[in-house]
Amino acid sequence: MKQLMKVMSILLVTILLASCGPNRTKEEINKALNDDEKKTKPESLTMWVDGDKQMSFYKEITDEYTKKTGIKVILKNTAQDDQVDNLSLDGPSGKGPDLFFQPHDRAGDAYLQGLAAEIKFTDKELQGYSKEALDALNYDGKQLALPVIVESTAIAYNKKLVKTPPKTMKDVEQIAEKVTNKEKKQFGFMFDAKNFYFNYPFLFSQGGYIFKENKNGFDTKDVAVNAPEVIKNGQRLQSWYDKGYITKSANQDVIVGLFKEGQVGMFVTGPWQTQEFKDALGENFATATFPTDNGKQMKPFLGVRGWFISEYSKEKYWAKDLLLFLTNQAHMQKYTDEMQEITGRTDVTSKKKLLKAYEQQARHAVAMPNIPEMSQVWDPMGNAATFISNGKKPKAALDEAKDGIDEQVEIMNASKK
């Protein structure tokens, strides 16, 4: 009897809904039956926002959303690096946010901890977003976020020392040879060669990979950081130390200081210090994309940061609505104009000349694997680069790095069983 009453109730609602409009399809009726309850507006939504600058920007945007929907948006200043740990504590108690902000390499970790919700989007809703940025925020076939910021490294150069940016790696070496003068503490070309984030495009320009990528994600048992192509590039890197193009003491902070003083012709960096370099060098500061290496486009790491919906949110329908509002074309254009950062939309273009190289390079970059196992890669590869700088054979250094990654990943995965 209860089952019959339930069927009759659904039938009655269906008839009433159908009578509201002559053109309503069965699909529309089912959508109305399933979604009407979800569309009840909450009084508020909460966002965890990373830093004062972001707080100021999103205050203006969310005020617009409130005027449009009547939903108050509460912004809480919470450091990006603290959000995952905080959510694991605050989420279960109902004190967490509806939206939180993270880099893509935490996506897999956040999902596996049950913190990041899978978000269903239509093809229309995803129009205008960079496919590479969306893929970076997709874990195991599940879309977990929409991109806001994309970052890659490119070439920053001083036009007083380097008239024309290099088109090939041979050009880079010629400039390094011509401009470098140790007595003047002047360098034609430098980069933080012991940091895997910066040396990745130089080591992997001809082949190799961290984890083999397939249609189902990454195979963490297939690591090729010691592929023959990577070893060969490791030998080239070592030769740059031998020739004095780069020095063992040249970390990123040292290079930045020398560049601002006009002592470095070109180096590898990201867009985050653009205004600082402009202030220091004036019209002599310029940017360019990476050169080609043996005819191949060099590809640095791509970093993507975006808005995630908390699995603990009780208002996922409206959290998604807010997410789409925050990252629409108009608001992302405003974001790049005001924040001097590259966005994850292909229909948004920076108006700032010095950001153009980063915008172009981001289209030719490799997203860091967004799986938890990536955390086991940085130290072994950093150690390998240090050993290479100290004269160790690149093959031996990279073989050790592979063994270290394999060992740490095995330990990590064994602890999950």
pLDDT at 127: 96
> What CATH class does 44-151+303-366 carry?
alpha beta
Roughly what angle, to the nearest 10 degrees, separates helices 378-389 and 228-242? 40
Instruction: Report the half-sphere exposure of 30 (CA within 13 A, side-chain side).
Output: 3
Which sequence spans correspond to the domains of the chain? 44-151+303-366, 153-299+372-414
Spatial separation of the C-alpha atoms in residues 125 and 324, rounded to whole Å: 8
Q: Which residues contact 145 (CB under 8 A, 6 or more apart)?
A: 102, 104, 107, 116, 119, 137, 306, 307, 308, 309
- The Cβ of residue 235 has, within 10 Å, a number of other Cβ atoms equal to 13
Which element (helix H / strand E) includes 24?
none
Residues in the chain: 417
pLDDT at 27: 55
Q: What 8-state DSSP symbol labels residue 153?
A: -
Spatial separation of the C-alpha atoms in residues 333 and 351, rounded to whole Å: 9
Buried b (16+ CB within 10 A) or exposed e, 164-197: ebbeebebbbebbeebbeeeeebbbbbbbbbbbb
Q: What 8-state DSSP symbol labels residue 186?
A: B
pLDDT digits (tens), the chain, 417 positions: 333 333 334 333 343 334 444 444 545 434 444 444 467 899 999 999 999 999 999 999 999 999 999 999 999 999 999 999 999 999 999 999 999 999 999 999 999 999 999 999 999 999 999 999 999 999 999 999 999 999 999 999 999 999 999 999 999 999 999 999 988 889 999 999 999 999 999 999 999 999 999 887 899 999 999 999 999 999 999 999 999 999 888 899 999 999 999 999 999 999 999 999 999 999 999 999 999 999 999 999 999 999 999 999 999 999 999 999 999 999 999 999 998 889 999 999 998 999 999 999 998 999 999 999 999 999 999 999 999 999 999 999 999 999 999 999 999 888 665
> What CATH class does 153-299+372-414 carry?
alpha beta
- In the chain the first and final C-alpha atoms are separated, in Å, by 47
pLDDT at 217: 85
Decide whether 44-151+303-366 matches 153-299+372-414 in CATH topology. Answer: yes
Parallel, antiparallel or unpaired: strands 44-49 and 72-77: parallel
